[in-house]
Amino acid sequence: MLLREVAYARPASLAEAVELLAANDGARALAGGQTLINVMKARAGSPDALIDLSALEELKGIELGTDGTLEIGAMTTYTELVQSSEARARPILGEVCAQIADVQVRNRGTIGGNICTNDPTNHLPPLLAALGAEMTIHGAGGDRTVTAQDFFLGVYMTAVGAGELLTKIRIPAGRADGFAAVTLGVEGTCIVSAAASLNGSVKIALGCVDAVPVVLELASDDEAAVRAAVASATLDPPSDVHASSEYRTHLAEVLAVRAVAQAAKNRS
Ligand SMILES: Cc1cc2nc3c(=O)[nH]c(=O)nc-3n(C[C@H](O)[C@H](O)[C@H](O)COP(=O)(O)OP(=O)(O)OC[C@H]3O[C@@H](n4cnc5c(N)ncnc54)[C@H](O)[C@@H]3O)c2cc1C
């Protein structure tokens, strides 16, 4: 047997989905299934019930405001972000989503699932942290909005509580962004990643060096300042079969410089 028996529901409204999640501690939201189903197949997780979000119109769509702000539904897939003309207002989004895994994963995987997983090797947590995204979370008490920095709490842990769903991600206007990663092969998992945003301030977010993206705010975007900021962050990343802690620390500096250089190029 591939999976143990699991209940399944496909609610037609956000209210119904939240009610189902709140009623059962063992229920889990199912978005693209590209992490959750694999976790279940590996017997690393075993929810009692899957609450499929695929029919929830409230979690879909990409809206571009007149001020350039993007509002992206949590169920938006990577492929939709790559192809959307609205998302091109913040081109780095499509550029990074196009680097995630393969076509099958990109067609099913969602922006909401990616950040709710908060796997430190995922591409989107550091990117959304650097872009200054805000997340809307819906529960029985209504909506609440948290910044990216308050959203990512630990490995596989976010501000989305029991009985709640991430509904949308708001990204402010801007184009001066960059992203750089060293991955396991082409389209592979990140060993270290860095995202940079130079829209009004200088912000860098480093991925794979801690449980949550490490966000650095700088006064200057020159290379020496970037190197000094990463060095003074006293990173202590884990060592594993792919990279030692020292190598990850070295990559963080190199990739931060590359991400900032790309962001500076996109500014001009
Ligand atoms: C072969 C392979 C390679 C991959 N490589 C990469 C990679 O290089 N970079 C990368 O970033 N990712 C990678 N991934 C992961 C992929 O991007 C997943 O799509 C993503 O991690 C989860 O998104 P999902 O929509 O599939 O979510 P699901 O797997 O359905 O859900 C993941 C978790 O998020 C929760 N969740 C989902 N949506 C919500 C919501 N709206 N509100 C609250 N909780 C929610 C679920 O309950 C579950 O716990 C890879 C996956 C595969 C299979």
Dmax of the chain from CA atoms? 57
Q: Look at residue 4 in the predicted model and tell me its pLDDT.
A: 84
Q: Look at residue 32 in the predicted model and tell me its pLDDT.
A: 98
Amino acid occupying residue 160: V
CA 236 to ligand 1 centroid distance, Å = 26
| pTM score of the predicted model | 0.97
Q: Look at residue 185 in the predicted model and tell me its pLDDT.
A: 85
CA 42 to ligand 1 centroid distance, Å = 15
Q: Look at residue 203 in the predicted model and tell me its pLDDT.
A: 98
Q: CB under 6 Å to ligand 1: residues?
A: 28-36, 38, 53, 74, 100-101, 105, 108-110, 112-114, 116-117, 122-124, 160, 165-166, 189
**Cβ partners under 8 Å of residue 191, min gap 6:** 121, 181, 182, 183, 184, 208, 242, 243, 248, 251
Q: Whose CA is nearest to atom 2 of ligand 1?
A: 101
CA 226 to ligand 1 centroid distance, Å = 31
Q: Look at residue 268 in the predicted model and tell me its pLDDT.
A: 75
Q: Which atom of ligand 1 is nearest to the CA of 37?
A: 29
Question: Considering only CA atoms, which of 150, 144, 260 is closest in space to residue 198?
Answer: 260
CA 105 to ligand 1 centroid distance, Å = 9
Q: Look at residue 1 in the predicted model and tell me its pLDDT.
A: 59
User: For the chain, which ranges sit under pLDDT 70?
Assistant: 1
CA 204 to ligand 1 centroid distance, Å = 23
